[in-house]
Amino acid sequence: MLLLTACGSQPSWQAISIATLSSDGLTLTVELLFGQPKPDGTYCEQVTDTDVLESSSQVVIGIQVVNTCAAPFPWEQRNTFDVGYIFPVKLNLKKPLGERAVLEKENRWPVRVKQPSGDS
pLDDT digits (tens, 9 = 90+) for 75-91: 555 555 456 889 999 99
pLDDT at 116 (0 to 100):
78
Distance of alpha carbon 75 from alpha carbon 83, whole angstroms: 22
Ranges in the chain, pLDDT < 70: 1-8, 70-83, 118-120
* Other Cβ atoms within 10 Å of 79 Cβ, number: 6
* Confidence (pLDDT) at 120: 47
Q: Model-level pTM?
A: 0.80
